[in-house]
Amino acid sequence: MEIKLRDPKLVMKLSKLGSFHQSKLSFLRSFLKEFKDWDYKRDLFDLDENGNGKAVYSLKKNNKTYSLVCFANNISDLERSDRVIATRWDAAFALHDGVPSKMDIDRLHKNVPKQEVGRLSYKELTLSRANKSIRIFNYIVECLSKGKQPDKKKILDVGYLYRTTAVYGSGKFGLADRFRIKNRNEICGPFRLEMMLVYLVRQFTFDQVNHIAKQKNPRDAVELDREICRNLGIGNSTGLGMAPFIINHPILLNNWILSRETSLKKIREIKKVANEDSEIFKIFLKKSIKNISYWNTESEYQKKKIKELYEDLKKLINFLDDNFDFKKNYPFNDLYIWCEKNLKDECIEFAVSMFMEPYDNIINPLIRKMSADEDKFFTIPAQKNIECLRKIIEENYSQIIKIDFSKKENNQNFWFISKNKEEPRLADRYKEQGSELEQPLAIARDIKKLYERISNIKNSLTVGKFLIENNDLRHLVRRVFISEFFPYAEIQDNTIGSQLMPIDMLRLKLSFFGAVKFDPRSDKWLRICMFQGAPLPNELKSLDSGWIYNSIN
Amino acid sequence: MISLSEIDTTVKRATKAVGFSWGIAEEVGKCIRILEMFGLPGLKNLNQYFRVFNSKKFQNISLISKSNISNLSYCPIISGLNFLDQSHVLQDLVEIEFENVAFPIIFVAFLSRSSEIIGKRIFLKIDGKEFLLNFNQSIYSNYFSEKIIEQASKIKITFIENKNSFNDKEWQELYKLSEQTFVNETDELKQKAAGAGLTDND
């Protein structure tokens, strides 16, 4: 039986994309699997009694070494801000390519704590900073220094000691360009080195908290229990900076979604499911309920989604326990169809992620297809004609060209780059100034403009000749031809409408990172947690691929 | 050092800022990135072009022909872009000449990309400076200066047909040498070693 890939016009709706969850395809899970046999070492740990100073951690295999260089600083509570406008952080980090020399560390010390206003070199791969979750951090120091372990419930509700507020890579601020790393054997997919940085930062947070407690009370202090450590991750505060990324990288977006959709298709096509595989699916599904029950947020929007997910998950588990026979043919297909009929998007997409758990043989080859060589499709095939362009628009953007952009509400917002921080922002076109400097992210509106522009153009005219007089729409023409080969390249929604929920765009990207506990703080930024439940670096060699469902909670 | 990614992004934004569309700005970002990667002074030339862009007038060519002459200097961006878009047709002209092109180094990047699109090397002569554009994989040139070239009086573009740089005799000589790595098969080996069937008439 051949199952069709799900229709991009349904999958690529923002409400659907905003319901995605972590899965076996997620980058932080892939990263751990790919680096599990690398040797971990803490090469330098030079902190004062308050935990300020520098440290270096490395992952090494054969002749290849990646080193995380950490700088912890003393900052006042007033200076501590997760917003991108902050200029000082509790700690700052750079992932160095190789073993840093003393000169490298001195150079990095002058630049890494400055973040965006510092300069890195081609020897650095990623850059980040993080702030303490001060209440939890101080509480743990207090407990450990008195020789006690902290209350698990109290700290796991938060889930981390530090929150990163940005992780930069790919040539930003002088970092190594992507071309320098993309062909390395150990880099099997996107964002691996960003994941490595975050993972090693997590270990630094444990070492720092232990160090401060020990300095406070050398006689009685104990180290944070390893099981508690495993169940702490790294938090992250993410704002709108991430949202345009998925619009600006259509081929990469396609490859992520296509991998997910292909895995679903292949799993639905399995005629006979082995008992062992259905058991793995059911066990992880039941375990995952615990993760959901400890998913805290103050956002009413997310609370509603979590409640619905929780109820739907119980419904799904009951259905599996009461009625479902995995011995029949194509059971995952039947189960998926049942999910579509009986569950809401949040749980349907959760189930899709869970379907993948037993199937390394399906998932592993797809993981290798999640990167993109975007330059290959950058050039517009100008020798094609308008008939071809029109046909692609009518097929791939059929819903978008129905949107009425003469209505104010469909044109409500505009995306711009803030002069202050060079970061993307969203504003109301009718209330705020600056819409004349709008970024080219209103794809739906502009595709419609292109469609209208070619309505009276004869079919035989080449795109090259059309562009002579219509270069204002050149970036759209490029996108249309990309969508011809990449069905999931475009968000099938209006990214400037009054109903836009930008956090759906963030959530989509973060789910592919492998983030959990999405905690929207507004419709424009959210907090998440990464690596909660993951093994510690010195336990990596015995990695359990289902670690994400092992948290104590 | 400024990364290529930063160059691409900043050039894109600057190109938009002087009045080009986003789509053109994307192309210019890529082109300057290519020039800088190949060691040619793309950013310097673009910067100087944008300094004078709004105070001087430039000619925007649309359809490119075998000989392109203008009293006003041709804009290297619009000329380059149209060359890129029309390159499938232009290759049939074999040789193309431009007179009076502003900041021709910028133009080079578009030709380099055209070389990749049509799958042919392009030989380019900008006044006395020679460039061999190899499918956008490399640029071979006798021009090593980092100076800004504000004007080219004459640009001659030649599409080079894909042909070998050696003759048959040279090839055969080398091929014969390579045969020394082969094993002489016995009749038995001929039958067994290939793995395939002896007849394929099934």
Interval A157-167: pLDDT, tens:
889 999 998 89
Number of H helices, E strands in chain A: 20, 11
Q: Distance from A398 to chain B by nearest Cα, in Å?
A: 23
Question: How deeply is A408 buried, as exposed, middle or buried, from its count of CB atoms within 10 A (0-12, 13-18, 19+)?
Answer: exposed
**CA A312 – CA A290 distance, rounded (Å):** 14
CB contact under 8 Å between A464 and B3, yes or no, is: no
Q: Which residues does residue A424 pair with via DSSP β-bridges, in sequence order?
A: A417
% pLDDT > 70, chain A: 99
Residues in B closer than 8 angstroms to A170, CB to CB, are: 5
Q: Distance from A377 to chain B by nearest Cα, in Å?
A: 11
DSSP state at residue A6: P
Residue A86: the pLDDT is 75
Q: Is A475 on the interface with B (CB under 8 A)?
A: yes
Residue A213 near residue A144, CB atoms below 8 Å: yes
Residue A97 near residue A71, CB atoms below 8 Å: no
What is the tens place of the pLDDT at every residue in A330-357?
999 999 999 999 999 999 999 999 999 9
pLDDT confidence band for A239 (50 / 70 / 90): confident
Closest alpha carbon within chain B to A374: B30
- Per-residue buried b or exposed e for B31-40, using 16+ beta carbons within 10 Å of the residue's own CB: bbbbbbbbeb
Q: Which residues does residue A127 pair with via DSSP β-bridges, in sequence order?
A: A94, A168
Residues in A closer than 8 angstroms to B81, CB to CB, are: 467, 471
pLDDT confidence band for A553 (50 / 70 / 90): very low
Residues in A closer than 8 angstroms to B27, CB to CB, are: 474
pLDDT confidence band for B197 (50 / 70 / 90): low
Closest alpha carbon within chain A to B110: A379
ipTM (interface predicted TM): 0.90
Q: Return the higher-pLDDT residue of B198 and A409.
A: A409
Closest alpha carbon within chain B to A473: B23
List the A160-168 sheet strands across, edge first: A39-47, A53-61, A64-72, A91-97, A124-132, A160-168, A233-238, A526-530, A516-520
What is the tens place of the pLDDT at every residue in B93-129?
999 999 999 999 999 999 999 999 999 999 999 998 9
Collect all residues with Cβ–Cβ distance below 8 Å to A46 and sequence separation of at least 6: A53, A54, A55
Cα–Cα distances in Å, from A111 out to A120, A132, A175, A508, B150? 7, 21, 12, 32, 37
CB contact under 8 Å between B30 and A375, yes or no, is: yes
List the one residue out of A527, A500, A511, A503 whose CA is nearest residue A238: A527
What is the tens place of the pLDDT at every residue in B159-193?
999 999 999 999 999 999 999 999 888 877 777 77
Residues in B closer than 8 angstroms to A423, CB to CB, are: none
- For A524-531, what is the mean pLDDT? 88
- Per-residue buried b or exposed e for A91-124, using 16+ beta carbons within 10 Å of the residue's own CB: bbbbbbbeebeeebbebbeebbbebeebebbebb
Residue in B2, B23, B88 closest to A471 by CB = B23
Q: Distance from B186 to chain A by nearest Cα, in Å?
A: 41
> Cα-flanking dihedrals φ and ψ of residue A360, to 5°?
-60, -35
Collect all residues with Cβ–Cβ distance below 8 Å to A162 and sequence separation of at least 6: A90, A91, A130, A131, A132, A133, A137, A201, A202, A205, A234, A235
Residue in B3, B23, B89 closest to A473 by CB = B23
CB neighbours (10 Å) of residue A361? Answer: 8
**CA A459 – CA A325 distance, rounded (Å):** 54
- Which pair of tokens denotes residue A12? 């690529």
Q: Return the higher-pLDDT residue of A83 and A250.
A: A250
Question: How deeply is B57 buried, as exposed, middle or buried, from its count of CB atoms within 10 A (0-12, 13-18, 19+)?
Answer: exposed
What is the tens place of the pLDDT at every residue in A418-473?
887 778 899 999 999 999 999 999 999 999 999 999 999 999 999 999 999 999 99
> Residue A546: CA atoms inside 13 Å, Cβ hemisphere, count?
18
CB neighbours (10 Å) of residue B162? Answer: 7
Question: How deeply is B167 buried, as exposed, middle or buried, from its count of CB atoms within 10 A (0-12, 13-18, 19+)?
Answer: exposed
pLDDT confidence band for B198 (50 / 70 / 90): low
CB neighbours (10 Å) of residue A405? Answer: 17
pLDDT confidence band for A265 (50 / 70 / 90): very high
| Secondary structure of A472-525 in HEC code, one letter for each residue | HHHHHHHHHHHHHHCCCCCCCCCCCCCCCCHHHHHHHHHHHHCCEEEEECCCCC
What is the tens place of the pLDDT at every residue in B23-35?
999 999 999 999 9
Q: Return the higher-pLDDT residue of B202 and B18.
A: B18
Q: Distance from B17 to chain A by nearest Cα, in Å?
A: 9
Residue A523: the pLDDT is 78
Q: Is A467 on the interface with B (CB under 8 A)?
A: yes
Collect all residues with Cβ–Cβ distance below 8 Å to A334 and sequence separation of at least 6: A324, A328
